[in-house]
Amino acid sequence: MKKLFHLHINTNRIYGLDILRCVAILCVVVEHSLGVLPHTVSTFLNFLVFDGVSIFFVLSGFLIGGIFIKEFEKKSITPKTLVHFWQRRWYRTLPNYLLILVILTVLNLLFTRYFTLSNVYSYFIFSQNLFTPHPGFFPEAWSLSIEEWFYLLIPVIILMMVSLIGITTKRSIIYTAISVIVLVTAFRLYRYFQIPLHTYKEWDIHFRKQVFTRLDSLMYGVIGAYVAYHHKAIWLKYKTPLLLIGLALLIIPKFLISDYSTIYFTVFSTSANAVATLLLLPYLNEVKEGKGSTYKTITYVSLISYSMYLINLSIVRHWIIGNMDLSNVNIYLAIIIKFALFWTFTIVLSILLYKYFEIPTTRLRDKKRVAGANRGFAKAA
């Protein structure tokens, strides 16, 4: 049984980034677990967690920004390198996503009245929340759509700047990042004056969970990658004060900001969260190693974080926990049972999905890369 759930930890992992990834996914899952708790308890716990998805966006932008620099800047950016980049990204992100999407589609077709395939077509091309509120089906897919459009659009913009305008790849990367941040922020500002908001939910669907209101969050991470590579001395020199400032920017607004209709909260709060996360990266990116049970636990959670994100809400909370009949059990005991089972199913199923599906599909990508390299070597010979 122990071998069934054992995960291999690559020694090349950066422990500090695993810490950040672990915090992000735990914030997401804690927030989703509140649905099985009493309102007073859930309100208190919700105050203690951060916006985990925003943290993921910046971290993803930082890591992908590093890939932009290594593959596009140090080598060259061409249509061929774009296809190679997309293939590697899609092998990493799409198999898990499509598997859960198909499972949820089948479950809904079998058990949800009036559900049809027309409800899910847009999810296969990530168009369900480009400019409009995300549908109720597969609600956690909103952030995955934003990530996929980031993978698709940003390299194309960089290529166009290099090919059509003649800007160097180095400058194209930073110009693209800054331009997207300015344009998306301006779009949120424009929408702020067009859509009157009164509740958090209205802000959530019109500003937080749409592709073209959130692409900027990932670009802060790209800027971080750019500074880390091209201005490493500055990046490292101020890592400790930046860490403290970043933590303050994450924590203090939770005590001060309560009006969801203000221009700050509506337009700039996601930017502030992104900047705060960015300021954590110089310090955390230098924490290369860890040890002991804490290190192992954090790394395990980081490894299965993508699977946890896909599984915890729709699969576990809705379809598994939501269909449990505990009406004959004491109400408080039923809450404890559901809460415990929510976390148990989320962790167990995530480990299984990661180990027996996510890893094998990622290995297919690596095998194709090796096979392609071998073919190239054979032609050269």
Q: What digits encode the pLDDT tens for the residues 235-291?
A: 999 999 999 999 999 998 888 766 778 899 999 999 999 999 999 999 999 999 998
CB 82 within 8 A of CB 159: yes
Rounded percentage of the chain residues whose pLDDT exceeds 90: 75
Number of neighbours of residue 145 by Cβ within 10 angstroms: 23
Of 179 and 367, which is predicted with more confidence? 179
CA atoms of 205 and 168, how far apart (whole Å): 38
In this prediction, residue 374 carries a pLDDT of: 46
pLDDT band of 69, cuts 50, 70, 90: very high
Q: Is the pLDDT of residue 55 over 70?
A: yes
- The per-residue pLDDT for 380 is 41
Name the H helices within the chain: 2-5, 15-33, 39-48, 52-67, 79-111, 121-124, 141-160, 169-194, 200-203, 211-230, 232-237, 239-256, 263, 269-284, 292-303, 305-311, 331-353, 359-380
Q: Mean pLDDT across the chain, nearest whole number?
A: 91
pLDDT recorded at residue 362: 87
Per-residue confidence (pLDDT) for residue 379, from 0 to 100? 47
Other CB atoms within 10 A of residue 286 CB: 14
Quick check: 43 pLDDT over 80? no
Residue whose C-alpha is closest to residue 320's, from 43, 41, 2, 35: 35
Cα radius of gyration rounded to whole Å, the chain: 22
pLDDT tens per residue across span 71-98: 888 778 888 999 999 999 999 999 999 9
2 pLDDT more than 80: no
What are the tens digits of pLDDT across the range 354-381?
999 999 998 887 665 545 544 544 444 4
Q: Band of the pLDDT at 36, cuts 50, 70, 90?
A: confident
pTM over 0.85: yes
What are the structure tokens assigned to 366, written together? Answer: 């690596």
Query: Among 236-245, 296-305, 312-321, 366-375, which stretch is predicted with the lowest mean pLDDT?
Result: 366-375
Instruction: Provide the residue ranges of all domains of the chain, joining segments of one domain with +.
Output: 1-49+298-376, 54-289
CA angle, corner 117, sides to 114 and 120, nearest 5? 110
What's the pLDDT score for residue 301? 96
Question: What single DSSP character describes residue 209?
Answer: S
Specify the pLDDT at position 368.
Answer: 59
Structure tokens at 176: 């693209």
Q: Report the C-alpha gap between 197 and 206 in whole angstroms.
A: 9
pLDDT, average across residues 316-336: 92
Percent of the chain surpassing pLDDT 70: 95
Distance CA(344)–CA(346), nearest Å, equals 5
End-to-end CA distance of the chain: 48
Task: State the pLDDT confidence band at 28, using cuts at 50, 70 and 90.
Answer: very high
Q: What is the pLDDT of residue 377?
A: 40
- Distance set, CA 287 to CA 61, 248, 284, 291, 367 (Å): 19, 20, 5, 12, 30
Among the residue ranges 5-14, 204-213, 370-379, the one predicted with the least confidence is 370-379
pLDDT exceeds cutoff 90 at 346 = yes
Average pLDDT over residues 56-63: 97
Chain length of the chain: 381
